[in-house]
Amino acid sequence: MQRELKDDLPLEHLMRLAQQGEQQAYARIFQEIIPILRGFVSKKLQRPEDTEDVVQEILISIHRASHTFDTDRPFKVWMFTIARYRLNDYLRTVYSKNKKGMEVAFDDEVFDISNEENVTKSHENQEYLIKIMSTLPVKQRNIISMMKIEGYSIQETAEAMSMSVSAVKVSAHRAYKLMALKAQEIEDKE
Amino acid sequence: MKTEDLIQQLVNEGPQKPMPHPMRQTMVWLLGMLVYLILITMYIGFRPDINQKLGEISYTFEFILLLGLGITSALSAFCLSRPDGHQMPWLKFVPFGFLLVWIITAFSGMSEQINLENLAHSMALNHFDCPSYIAIFSIPPGMALFFLVRMGVTTQCYWAGSMATLSVTSFGYLLMRLIEPNDNPAHLIVWHALPIMLICMLGMIIGRLVLKWR
């Protein structure tokens, strides 16, 4: 029989009740952890749809690992270990995909296409950017693409490129200089 | 799928039945392991000088250390079968304490006997039967331990694999000390300790393949 649950029950206690068959307690756990997980994942991922995908993955993992939780231990430590594991798994998959196909993924970029003018403008900017970036050495182009188009942090880019953070910064700085020079060249020609 | 729908689906399924405490798992495991050890030893037969050896403090101490190594590494493997390592991250280093003390006590004062010449000589004797015994003895309990660890969820598969292997091979080493009347330190290093190290490395790889949480 389901009973009314108090509002301030800790997650460990809720899990104990859930393991005893209280569906309501199990539902409450998910409701309470979702905002925490969204906050945790969104620090690493920029696109909300990616965040939601990873949060769902984490929820499924928590459910699948529910038999390994010892209710005498803090719930959040257990939960965050799973969350970190799944998030790293996701990032690893994304990085390995990027490594395999290092072409600049402009198609993935979201442009504001609410009116025709914006579409034209976006395409012009895109072409201009492609033109300048195509003159960069491959490594610098990849770094700029990851940091400025795909939205990775310096740390994430460094990990994906198997470089140190400072090496990424130096490479990016050189790339900006080259891009500025190239932009100047193009403007002079036009 | 919407997150709310997913939650509803998970709630309908309900959480899984909790696993027994790692300590309890280790006790059950130890009981099974000791029965196995006794049966095998009785089948093969104790070393002829076992009564005399059991009277030696160093031998008994080595026996206790190996037992400690086997138990703590099994406990570590069971804790590592939880995603958070049962929130005792230090536990996986405890077996190394036993290992270190065992190395010091088992081989201290034998520096004269442990030299390159003796090691090379021991290697030339081709005592492949010793590592074979250790491996054969370790395989059935090893498979059982991997199976039990796999029932959980590990986020540190290399550690879990190596701890499980270290546990069964330390019992394998213990068995060899009970049945083989050879106390030559060079022989023990080359044909017992080194193969165990190799088997543990193999265990790490097996851990990666078998225990990784997908």
Band (pLDDT 50/70/90 cuts) for residue A98 is low
Cα angle for residues B87, B79, B165 (degrees, 5° grid): 140
The whole-angstrom distance between B68's CA and the closest CA on chain A is: 25
Q: What is the DSSP letter of B155?
A: S
Is A85 close to B83, i.e. CB distance below 8 A?
A: yes
Structure tokens at B214: 């997908």
Q: d(Cα B154, Cα A86) in Å, to the nearest integer?
A: 12
The answer to whether B51 and A101 have CB atoms below 8 angstroms apart is no
Q: Taking Cα atoms as reference points, which of B173, B158, B174 lies closest to residue B210?
A: B158
8 Å CB contact of B152 and A34: no
Q: What is the largest CA-CA distance in chain A?
A: 80
Share of chain A above pLDDT 70, in %: 80
| Probe site for chain B from A2, A5, A70 (most B CB atoms < 10 A) | A70
Tokens matching residue A55: 């949060």
How near does any CA of chain A get to the CA of B179, in Å?
A: 39
Q: What per-residue confidence (pLDDT) applies to B135?
A: 87
Q: How does the average pLDDT of chain A come out, rounded?
A: 79
A-chain residues near B6 (CB < 8 A) = 56, 59-60
Q: What is the mean pLDDT of residues A134-140?
A: 82
Query: Which residues from B are below 8 Å from A when comparing CB atoms?
Result: 1, 3, 6-8, 10-19, 21, 81-84, 86-87, 152-153, 155, 213
Low-confidence ranges of chain B (pLDDT < 50): none
Q: Which is nearest to B122 in space by CA: B65, B53, B34, B184?
A: B184
Cβ contact, residue pair A19, B15, below 8 Å: yes
Confidence at residue A68, expressed as pLDDT on a 0 to 100 scale: 94
Query: Is the pLDDT score of A106 beyond 70?
Result: no
Over residues A16-65, the pLDDT tens digits come to 999 888 889 999 999 999 999 999 999 888 788 889 999 999 999 999 99
Which of A170, A12, A157 has its CA nearest to residue A91?
A157
Examine the pLDDT at A116 and tell me if it is beyond 50: no
Q: According to the model, what pLDDT value does residue A125 have?
A: 63
Specify the pLDDT at position A95: 78
Query: Does the pLDDT at position A133 exceed 50?
Result: yes
Q: Collapsing DSSP states into helix, strand and coil, what is residue A87? A: helix
Give the DSSP H or E segment for B183. Answer: none
pLDDT over threshold 70, residue A70: yes
Smallest Cβ–Cβ distance between B83 and the set A27, A31, A65 belongs to A65
**A20/B contact by beta carbon, under 8 A:** no
Per-residue model confidence (pLDDT) at position B109: 67
Q: Do the Cβ atoms of A21 and B14 come within 8 Å?
A: yes
List helix spans (H) across chain B: 3-13, 22-44, 50-54, 57-80, 94-107, 116-124, 129-150, 157-179, 185-188, 194-211
Nearest C-alpha neighbor of A116 from the set A124, A108, A128: A124
CA B44 to chain CA mean position, Å: 21
ipTM > 0.85 (yes/no): no
pTM check: above 0.90: no
Which of A119-133, A165-179, B39-53, B176-190 is predicted least confidently? Answer: A119-133
Query: Could you read off the pLDDT of B154-175 as tens digits, one per residue?
Result: 999 999 999 999 999 999 999 9
pLDDT band at A112 (very low <50, low <70, confident <90, very high): very low
How far is it, in rounded angstroms, from Cα A90 to Cα A84? Answer: 10
For residue B65, the model assigns a pLDDT of: 93
CA of B3: which chain A residue's CA is closest?
A: A56
Read off the pLDDT of residues B110-120 as tens digits, 9 standing for 90 and up.
767 777 777 77
> Nearest-CA residue of chain A relative to B152?
A68
Rg (CA), chain A: 23
Choose among B13, B81, B83: nearest Cβ to A81. B83
> Across the A/B interface, how many CB contacts are shorter than 8 Å?
84
d(CA A44, CA B116): 54
